């Protein structure tokens, strides 16, 4: 007998004279009968849905040599290689920043170090089933990433949302949010983390938890117990407005989780309206850092003391990784892990600011985070970025005349590293301009203002207002951050250009990053300029950067 859903579908298909609203109402009724709507009387529950992935999945050996042999002929990796060949034809596709091998990219997840290799997971979207899966890449040096097959697939969850990874002596534990069901735990212990098994096969913390919002979990271990943060908000801000909250859970066995309380105290650094997605909580120096993503203001962090008796982070400092809205073109979510020496390595996804066919977001370069002697967070490039350096040009010391732009002969390119040391003297502003067309119709301006920030700090800014003549590039205000320099300390810039991204590290203490999309083929120039009074260029070195993708096109 034909069921009622089929009958309604047939009626809707036959009634061409019905209005759009009438057809929509009938269609919704049909979907409800089919159990495809998850609200309302008679709707199918989440655990009754068939959310198995349609993407190719494989089971691998537990032996490293056998795994490598299997990967050499893996059809999914062959597909990735062919896809990368096409994507790299796009002039805005980076050559040394990681981009997913097919389709779009979202949050990085579970950055970790296991058996001598760095592992990066991320939200990937297989073309045949474009729901979030955990994509997977591996690296020996944090720079040269190698594609691996998708790691974690949906089912019983609707999609594999963001989470983290905890490395134990004999296994790696991934804890993530399973869309529509709750927080999930999966375990792998093979050499390349290719095989994952979900603990209980069901959510270990259900999405409808009565005491706390549940999503984007972070996991760590203390005194034989597992702890987990789940990002969320509380209405305890000014006027009852929402402010970030991190809800703390505890478990002895990864299966049974007890809710404890909100984790963070004294947070005076987040904005009213921020939320606490994608949390990562690690020791750094003699304190702890909580990195997270705000859907309102992008990547952020809190520094504080971990009160292990009360299980609270008592905040003593905080700041931003993104200075403005995270989209378009800004810094998005973090994924972070200890470096084994008391510091933290973090990588972010960077939002797109222009439609691109077959790909969109990219990963930032990894950053090494440390605490300075005075408790300030410092940022430097992490990994063996120097291994990518190719042809080199050096510019010796020179005076930068006031109000005169100097174009540097022989220093040009769209995928470069530039290291410059500048004495600003009394100039009101010093500029390093990149992606410059010969007539300056297109130019991205990196601007430094000495002692013009809060409490007499200096200011670094990326101005993209003239970065592109293309009509579909989305504009945004300049990315502008404070940076502390000593009274007579020279400005040290380390700038990374890669076709559609600019990352600027300042004296190892601050980093600003932005997506830009030069539209002209000849927007490759570099220039310097001092405003108001002369400055001194002490030195400048520039390298053409080699691609990390050559090895990925040989499957």
Contact 9, 30 (CB under 8 A): yes
CA distance 277 to 298: 10
CA distance 89 to 190: 35
pTM: 0.90
Residues 192 and 302 in one domain: yes
Residues 79 and 204 in one domain: yes
Residues 15 and 84 in one domain: no
pLDDT per residue as tens digits for the range 111-151: 999 999 999 999 999 999 999 999 999 999 999 999 999 99
Examine residue 13 and state whether it is found in any structural domain, yes or no: yes
Give the orientation angle of helix 4-14 with respect to helix 20-34, to 10 degrees: 160
Per-residue tens of pLDDT for the chain, all 555 residues: 334 333 333 433 333 333 333 333 333 333 333 333 333 333 345 556 789 999 999 999 999 999 999 999 999 999 999 999 999 999 999 999 999 999 999 999 999 999 999 999 999 999 999 999 999 999 999 999 999 999 999 999 999 999 999 999 999 999 999 999 999 999 999 999 999 999 999 999 999 999 998 999 999 999 999 999 998 888 888 888 988 889 999 999 999 999 999 999 999 899 898 899 999 999 999 999 999 999 989 999 999 999 999 999 999 999 999 998 899 999 999 999 999 999 999 999 999 999 999 999 999 999 999 999 989 999 999 999 999 999 999 999 999 999 999 999 999 999 999 999 999 999 999 999 999 999 999 999 999 999 998 888 999 999 999 999 999 999 999 999 999 998 889 999 999 999 999 999 999 999 999 999 999 999 999 999 999 999 999 999 999 999 999 877 754
The full length of the chain comes to 555
Residues 398 and 313 in one domain: no
Residues 94 and 222 in one domain: yes
Query: Environment class of residue 263 by beta-carbon count within 10 Å: exposed (0-12), middle (13-18) or buried (19+)?
Result: buried
The angle at the Cα of 124, spanning 118 to 127, to the nearest 5 degrees, equals 140
Residues 217 and 253 in one domain: yes
Query: What are the φ/ψ torsions at residue 212 (nearest 5 degrees)?
Result: -155, 150
Contact 333, 277 (CB under 8 A): yes
Query: What are the φ/ψ torsions at residue 84 (nearest 5 degrees)?
Result: -60, -40
Residues 101 and 30 in one domain: no
CA distance 267 to 21: 48
Examine residue 77 and state whether it is found in any structural domain, yes or no: yes
- Last residue of some domain: 381, 404, 427? 381
DSSP secondary structure of 27-56: HHHHHHHHT---SSTTPPPGGGS-----S-
Report how far apart, in Å, the C-alpha atoms of 20 and of each of 29, 367, 475 are: 14, 52, 36
Residues 83 and 206 in one domain: yes
Query: Of all helices (H) and strands (E), which one includes residue 69?
Result: helix 64-72
DSSP 235: S
Q: CATH code at 100?
A: 2.115.10.20
Residues 509 and 454 in one domain: yes
Query: Can you read off the two tokens belonging to residue 266?
Result: 């004294």
- Last residue of some domain: 329, 352, 381? 381
Instruction: Please give the tally of structural domains in the chain.
Output: 3
- Last residue of some domain: 381, 415, 431? 381
What is the domain extent for residue 18?
A: 4-45
Examine residue 421 and state whether it is found in any structural domain, yes or no: yes
- Least Cα distance to 180 among 220, 218, 138, 132 occurs for 132
Examine residue 302 and state whether it is found in any structural domain, yes or no: yes
């Amino acid at each position: 007998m034909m069921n009622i859903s089929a009958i309604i579908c047939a009626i809707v298909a036959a009634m061409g004279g019905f209005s759009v609203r009438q057809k929509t109402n009938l269609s919704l009724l049909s979907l409800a009968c089919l159990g495809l709507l998850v609200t309302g009387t008679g709707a199918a529950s989440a655990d009754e849905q068939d959310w198995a992935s349609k993407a190719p999945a494989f089971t691998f050996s537990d032996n490293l040599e056998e795994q490598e042999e299997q990967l050499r002929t893996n059809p999914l990796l062959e597909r990735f290689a062919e896809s990368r060949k096409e994507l790299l034809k796009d002039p805005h596709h980076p050559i040394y920043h990681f981009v997913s091998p097919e389709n779009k990219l979202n949050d990085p997840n579970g950055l970790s170090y296991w058996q001598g290799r760095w592992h990066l997971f991320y939200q990937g979207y297989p073309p045949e089933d474009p729901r979030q899966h955990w994509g997977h890449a591996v690296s020996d040096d944090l720079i040269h990433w190698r594609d691996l097959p998708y790691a974690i697939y949906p089912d019983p969850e609707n999609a594999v949302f963001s989470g983290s990874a905890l490395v134990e002596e004999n296994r790696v534990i991934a804890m993530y949010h399973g869309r529509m069901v709750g927080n999930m735990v999966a375990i792998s212990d093979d050499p390349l983390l290719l095989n994952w098994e979900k603990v209980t096969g069901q959510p270990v913390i259900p999405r409808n938890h009565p005491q706390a919002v549940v999503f984007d979990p972070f996991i760590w271990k203390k005194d034989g117990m597992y702890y987990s943060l789940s990002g969320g908000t509380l209405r305890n801000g000014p006027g009852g407005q929402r402010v970030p909250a991190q809800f703390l859970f505890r478990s002895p066995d990864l299966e049974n989780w007890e809710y404890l309380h909100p984790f963070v105290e004294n947070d005076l650094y987040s904005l009213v309206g921020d939320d606490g997605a994608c949390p990562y909580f690690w020791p750094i120096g003699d304190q702890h850092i909580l990195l997270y993503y705000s859907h309102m203001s992008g990547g952020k962090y809190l520094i504080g003391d971990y009160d292990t008796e009360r299980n609270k982070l008592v905040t003593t400092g905080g700041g931003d990784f993104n200075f403005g809205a995270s989209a378009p073109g800004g810094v998005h979510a973090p994924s972070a892990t200890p470096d084994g020496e008391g510091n933290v390595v973090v990588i972010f996804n960077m939002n797109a600011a222009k439609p691109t066919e077959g790909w969109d977001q990219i990963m930032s370069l990894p950053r090494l985070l440390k605490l300075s002697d005075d408790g300030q967070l410092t940022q430097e490039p992490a990994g063996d970025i120097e291994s990518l350096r190719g042809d080199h040009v050096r510019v010796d010391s020179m005076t930068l005349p006031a109000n005169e732009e100097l174009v540097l002969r022989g220093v040009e390119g769209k995928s470069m590293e530039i290291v410059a040391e500048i004495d600003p003297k009394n100039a009101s502003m010093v500029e390093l301009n990149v992606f410059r067309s010969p007539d300056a119709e297109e130019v991205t301006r990196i601007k430094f203002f000495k002692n013009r920030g809060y409490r007499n700090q200096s200011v670094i800014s990326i101005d993209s207002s003239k970065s592109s003549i293309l009509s579909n590039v989305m504009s945004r205000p300049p990315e502008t951050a404070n940076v502390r320099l000593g009274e007579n300390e020279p400005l040290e810039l380390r700038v990374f250009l890669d076709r559609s991204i600019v990352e600027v590290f300042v004296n190892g203490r601050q980093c600003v990053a932005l997506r830009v999309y030069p539209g002209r083929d000849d927007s490759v120039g570099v220039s310097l300029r001092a405003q108001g009074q002369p400055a001194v260029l002490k030195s400048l070195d520039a390298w053409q950067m080699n691609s990390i993708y050559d090895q990925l096109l040989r499957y």
